Amino acid sequence: MAPKALIHHILTLLFTFLPLAYSLDFNYPAVFSFGDSNSDTGGLIAGLGESLGPPNGQTYFKKPSGRFCDGRLIIDFLLDAMDMPFLNAYLEAIGAPSFKRGCNFAAAGSTILPATASSISPFSFGIQVAQFFRFKDRVLDLQAKSKKLNKYIPDDEYFAKGLYMFDIGQNDIAGAFYSKTFDQILASIPTILLEFESGIEKLYDQGARYFWIHNAGPLGCLPQNVAKFGTDPSKLDALGCVSAHNQASKLLNLQLHALCTKLQGQYLDANITYVDIFTVKSNLISNYSRYGFEQPIMTCCGYGGPPLNYDSRIACGQTKILNGSSVTAKACNDSTEYVNWDGIHYTEAANQYVSSQILTGKYSDPPFSEQMPFLLKLKF
């Protein structure tokens, strides 16, 4: 077996048998997720009534699943490792979705700051938190009336004992580069985090105690940003990523980490875990071949060919007339060779790698220990 194939085979085996061999001592009966496309399992598509066609979803689900990916997201792998079902989107109404073990309020394109008329997603962080409160009120109301729906909705104590996961803020930074200077973007970070803190405080006041917060990834390494802002080679770093975007991500993360530390000191009965996604993803892009990948930045599902195979005018799976010719943004032959799926989002193979690193506990503050919710235990 070739080295690349062997590495992916090992990762697949890890996640296949993780619930059996390495099982997380997961004390939480439910997970409530807030975020953007990194953790959206169908919210934006359901909410806007849009379609996300093939080849999205082709790797694992064998059809589009509402995820901007060829397969599973980081949140899917984390829940799977915890013996939890994948989360259904709050806005998905069809097919009698079960919310017994939690609910996903994340929606692609969402920001922490309130949405504007030009926003991709109207479901900004404040709206997602408000949706959660409506969800909770409806659950408690239904429980008080009848037990008939209990298999579809969480028990009331799940809200206090559940895990609240967050992966949001990257769109605030990435979107700002289209209209603001670098200094203006940096100056806006405290305002962004004030809005995030407000949402966390509201959830805490309503009884949430377990918080799991992802920081922002290296935005400068996304083909979309390299194509738009990296045409001048002097703007790129040694990896071919846009330096300013990565610097903005780092500064957001520095202040987000400080906020998490402050909140942990403020809420002594809460458990706040900060997860350094930036370092994990940067390490993957820097050392891609070591982990079985062949393309760290080039898009798998795109149009235009090397070096980026990305054209902002045509999204993955679409067919359009460009310069008088009909063209299609097709998927590459083997998405496990690519870190990037569609110019903005990671492939399932990359998400699997990132998840495996998160589960080591090394990239969290505090690191996993016997007091932490995600304790890896050998089970014989």
How many angstroms separate the CA atoms of 206 and 324, rounded?
56
Residue with tokens 């530390």: 261
> Percent helix, strand, coil in the chain (nearest 5)?
40, 15, 45
pTM: 0.91
Q: Name the strand (E) or helix (H) holding 3.
A: helix 3-17
The identity of residue 89, as a single letter, is A
Q: Which of 342, 355, 356, 364 is catalytic?
A: 342
Q: Is 37 labeled as catalytic in the residue annotation?
A: yes
Q: What angle do CA 166, 172, 176 make, to 5 degrees?
A: 165
CA–CA separation, 151 vs 100, rounded Å? 6
Single out the catalytic residue among 8, 214, 245, 345. Answer: 345
Residue 32 DSSP SS3: strand
Q: Where are the beta strands (DSSP E) in 201-266?
A: 210-214
**How do the pLDDT tens digits run along the chain, 380 residues long?**
555 655 565 555 555 444 333 333 457 899 999 999 999 999 999 999 999 999 999 999 999 999 999 999 999 999 998 899 999 999 998 988 999 999 999 999 999 999 999 999 999 999 999 999 999 999 999 999 988 899 999 999 999 999 999 999 999 999 999 999 999 999 999 999 999 999 999 999 999 999 999 999 999 999 999 999 999 999 999 999 999 999 999 999 999 999 999 999 999 999 999 999 999 999 999 999 999 999 999 999 999 999 999 999 999 999 999 999 999 999 999 999 999 999 999 999 999 999 999 999 999 999 874 444 444 443 32
- The reported pLDDT for the residue numbered 95 is 87
- CB distance 162 to 28 below 8 Å: yes
**Is residue 345 flagged as an active site residue?**
yes
For residue 366, say if its preceding peptide bond is cis, omega within 30 degrees of 0. yes
Handedness of CA 343, 193, 178, 235 (dihedral sign): negative
- What is the model's pLDDT at position 12? 56
The pLDDT score that the predictor gives to residue 368 is 72
Under 8 Å between Cβ of 281 and 220: no
109-143 burial, b for 16+ CB within 10 Å, e for fewer? bbbbbebeeebbbbbbbbbbbebbeebbeebeeee
Distances (CA, A) of 66 to 52, 58, 73, 89, 219: 6, 12, 11, 9, 22
The one catalytic residue among 8, 33, 36, 37: 37
| Residue 167 designated active-site | no
371: left (phi over 0), alpha (psi -120 to 50) or beta: alpha
Q: Phi, psi (5° rounding) for residue 89?
A: -75, 140
Cis peptide before 307 (omega within 30 of 0): yes
Quote the CA–CA distance of 175 and 324 in Å, as a whole number.
30
